[in-house]
Amino acid sequence: MNNSRSILDSMSMSMKIIDNTHDEIIEKGKELIECLKNGDVGGVVSMYDTDAELLTSNVPICRGIDALRIYYTMLKQRNELMNTIERGNCVNNSANERMPIKTRYFILWIKRDIGWMIMQDCKL
């Protein structure tokens, strides 16, 4: 009986950790969305780990903070802000396109001493 209780307590603790982690990442995601909406390149780039990768179509792989800064600065100059419409999907409202381009994405987060950072960002 004691062993069963110990296992249940351990599972309960694991679920709390998972829930807390999920909540922390959701909050970081909200910060990222606000930075994107406001065209805050510095804020967006600060969400990425130092050796993060961004993979997106028609663009070479961006590796590292400097490449990410160039990429997001280019997007801002082209007036191409990203707007999230639901988890896993986004819409690119480009000034050069007649219709929004709908895509899917995933973001891989990693826990660092300073908090959750984006390790890999892939827009399909």
Domain of residue 94, CATH code: 3.10.450.50
Please tell me which residue, 88 or 71, carries the higher pLDDT value.
71
For residue 85, is pLDDT > 80?
A: no
- Owning domain of residue 21: 2-123
Taking 50 as the threshold, does the pLDDT of residue 65 lie above it?
yes
Asked whether the predicted pLDDT for residue 44 surpasses 90, the reply is yes
Exposed e or buried b per residue across 27-66, where buried means at least 16 C-beta atoms within 10 angstroms of its C-beta: ebbeebeebbeeebbeebbebbbeebbbbbeeeeebeeee
Mean pLDDT of 19-23: 86
Instruction: State pTM to two decimals.
Output: 0.69
What's the total number of domains in the chain?
Answer: 1
